[in-house]
Amino acid sequence: MTSKDIDPHDTPEVFDVYEEPSKFLAPVIDYSISASDDITITPPPEPEEEIAVGRQVDYLNLPGLRTLSDPIKGKTRILVRVEQLLPKICPECGSTDQLKGNGTRRQFLLDEPRGTLSVRIDLRRRSFSCKACGTSKLVPLDCIAENRRMTLRLELYIQRKSLLRPFREVAQETGVSPKTVHAIFRDHVKALERVREKKCPMPRVLGLDGVYIKSKERAVLTDPERGLVINLVPTVQAELLGKALESMPGRERVKVVTIDMSRGLRSAVSHAFPRAAIVIDRYHIQRMANESVDRVRHRLRQEIKRTRGGVQMCHRKLLRKHRGQLTLDEQMQMERYFLLFPELKLAYETKESFFALWSAKGSVAAKIRYEEWRAACPPQLDFAFKYLHTAMENWGEYIFNYFDHPYTNAFTEASNRRIKDIQREGRGSSFETARFKAIFGTLMRQELKEAREQEPGYAKRRGTPRAKGPKPKSVEVSTNTVRAHRLPVGLQLALF
């Protein structure tokens, strides 16, 4: 008899192919006869409830909670069913024998995300009643932030992440609303603000620069030596900024202030830090020398356009390079242009000798060399170099300060870029939010960096030279996923 002979529609009453097909499709063989006697028969399974509890992996690893079943994975989040354990000792009076469960209540909480999925906890919260002291209430649970409906570690996670990432993004990642993220951020920075002066004291070298936040220029104060943003002042208006700087505690520590060529900043700084040396960022003045060469090049180009038609001109980038940076090919290329345009050669040489000033040792030597350079400047190039000359006349004192205090505004400007990023990412965030993110985000990054350097294996990994050959391609992995895999949940907490 084969399956072809059977038409289930013909015999609906006597034949259910889905229930017991073997009875009808194959001859019945009793296999137990050939089995040897020493095979142990597996015991019948225990009741289902007990298996689930006994073998259930503790998914959350939170004290006082027990996972009831395997987590249910959705597309954006994981749902975990847990119950609270009844304590053996009364949390109120400490008696051990007269405690009783007093029903449960269902609560939904959010927990730290795993990888790209947020985690929702379906909790059976327990009540207890104690005859010894007469208390009857919910069993306290230390691991949750009661007023926020989330675990304490999620709150910490949001505190930390919201300093670095836009609120919107943190909300999406954790399943919390952006409003709640903002509220957690606000409470957290309020607490941090109290320790700001201790954690970011006025430095010895202060970096000062302007940055636009909410279409108004603000002042950024940095500590370039420690790599920190100290503070943001809502205005760069000289008088107000001067007052704000004057009121900052610890200002007597400041010995050097780096700024760019802005009169407002200079007058505010000399008002608030009369004894500090003001240093003009050298890149600003060096850039002016490059721009002077550009002007000569531009004029020559206009000229050939008028008189000779389409003759090529030396590329601007080539003229930016120093002698030592040019390849042989580039040198030859440049010499060709210099033969055609002697004025261009002159401008290039003038720029190069201006850059050479920076090899001087000390401000006195630099000043002498500058005077020599100034005297040798060809007057026919004044149309292009006049801005540089004016800047040197107006700011010379502070530019030469660099030779005694070799600090630049590079870190401050990098911080400015970071602040602009914060502005772009967190569309419409206020000045205060940007200020806190800049100060405490940078501080946290720095503290994490220091902590990372303390971790075991850090120095060893750094010291190992990389094998020769092509650099291995980095694999795109979400840092979040990596972090989640590496650390047990409880250890993901920040140091911050």
Of residues 132 and 164, the one with the C-beta less far from Zn ion: 132
In the bound complex, what is the minimum distance in angstroms from residue 132's beta carbon to Zn ion?
Answer: 5
For 400, 402, 406, 431, 449, the CA distances from 222, given in Å and listed in that order, are: 22, 18, 16, 17, 18
Q: Distance between alpha carbon 442 and the CA centroid of its chain, in Å?
A: 8
- The DSSP bridge pattern shows strands 144-145 and 136-138 to be unpaired
Of residues 92 and 169, the one with the C-beta less far from Zn ion: 92
In the bound complex, what is the minimum distance in angstroms from residue 84's beta carbon to Zn ion?
Answer: 17
> Is the CA virtual torsion 342, 348, 354, 360 positive or negative?
negative
Of residues 93 and 410, the one with the C-beta less far from Zn ion: 93
Of residues 90 and 422, the one with the C-beta less far from Zn ion: 90
Of residues 132 and 313, the one with the C-beta less far from Zn ion: 132
In the bound complex, what is the minimum distance in angstroms from residue 136's beta carbon to Zn ion?
Answer: 10
In the bound complex, what is the minimum distance in angstroms from residue 124's beta carbon to Zn ion?
Answer: 22
Query: What string of DSSP letters covers 157-209?
Result: HHHHHHHHS-HHHHHHHHT--HHHHHHHHHHHHHHHHHHHHHHS---SEEEEE
Of residues 92 and 352, the one with the C-beta less far from Zn ion: 92
Q: Does residue 158 contact residue 170 with C-beta atoms inside 8 Å?
A: yes
Joined together, the tokens standing for residue 168 give 């919107």
In the bound complex, what is the minimum distance in angstroms from residue 126's beta carbon to Zn ion?
Answer: 15
DSSP state of 467: P
Q: Does residue 495 contact residue 447 with C-beta atoms inside 8 Å?
A: yes
CA angle, 153 then 154 then 159, to 5°: 95
Of residues 59 and 128, the one with the C-beta less far from Zn ion: 128
Residues of this chain that interact with Zn ion (CB under 5 A) are: 90, 92-93, 130, 132-133
In the bound complex, what is the minimum distance in angstroms from residue 93's beta carbon to Zn ion?
Answer: 3
For 220, 242, 263, 292, 422, the CA distances from 217, given in Å and listed in that order, are: 10, 15, 14, 28, 15
Q: What is the Cα–Cα distance from 59 to 120, expressed in whole angstroms?
A: 12
Q: Does residue 245 contact residue 253 with C-beta atoms inside 8 Å?
A: no
SS in 3 state form for 381-421? HHHHHHHHHHHHHHHHHHHHHCCCCCCCCHHHHHHHHHHHH
| DSSP-based three-state secondary structure for 54 | helix
In the bound complex, what is the minimum distance in angstroms from residue 188's beta carbon to Zn ion?
Answer: 35
Burial of 167 (0-12, 13-18, 19+ CB in 10 A): buried
Of residues 132 and 326, the one with the C-beta less far from Zn ion: 132
| DSSP-based three-state secondary structure for 481 | helix
In the bound complex, what is the minimum distance in angstroms from residue 139's beta carbon to Zn ion?
Answer: 12
In the bound complex, what is the minimum distance in angstroms from residue 110's beta carbon to Zn ion?
Answer: 31
In the bound complex, what is the minimum distance in angstroms from residue 105's beta carbon to Zn ion?
Answer: 20
**Amino acid present at 85:** L
Write down the residue that tokens 């689930």 correspond to. 52
Of residues 91 and 396, the one with the C-beta less far from Zn ion: 91
Of residues 93 and 311, the one with the C-beta less far from Zn ion: 93
